[in-house]
Amino acid sequence: MTNSNQPKILRRGSGPPAGVLDQLSPRVEYLSVVDCETISGISRWTWRQWAYVGKITSYKPGGRRLLIPRSELDRVFAESMRPARHHEKSGNPG
């Protein structure tokens, strides 16, 4: 049975050390850089670099493990979206 107060984390491997989940916000979904790479197609190394330079918010519970809030992934997508171009059809065919 899972505790509804704990954040939903998509993880591979063993996950963060014991007690780390208690420190994270209970309403935030955290993703690993591998998950971000899988979802976005952007390299895990790019996600790491963005976290390092402060372009995205991240949490590093220890070691090489880096967690990124899902909201940051959504924000990166929103910032890179361009509005659709709608072409008006003229009355002249061709």
Domain boundary assignment for the chain: 25-79
Residues with Cβ within 8 Å of residue 73, at least 6 apart in sequence: 31, 36, 39, 40
Say what the pLDDT of residue 12 is.
47
Residues with Cβ within 8 Å of residue 70, at least 6 apart in sequence: 28, 29, 30, 31
CATH code: domain 25-79 is 1.10.10
Asked whether the predicted pLDDT for residue 82 surpasses 70, the reply is yes
What CA–CA distance (Å, rounded) separates 10 from 29? 8
Tell me the per-residue pLDDT of 9-41, one tens digit each, with 9 for 90 and over: 444 444 455 555 556 556 788 999 999 999 999
Asked whether the predicted pLDDT for residue 48 surpasses 50, the reply is yes
Asked whether the predicted pLDDT for residue 79 surpasses 70, the reply is yes
Q: Please, are residues 70 and 55 in contact by the beta-carbon 8 Å criterion?
A: no
What CA–CA distance (Å, rounded) separates 60 from 46? 16
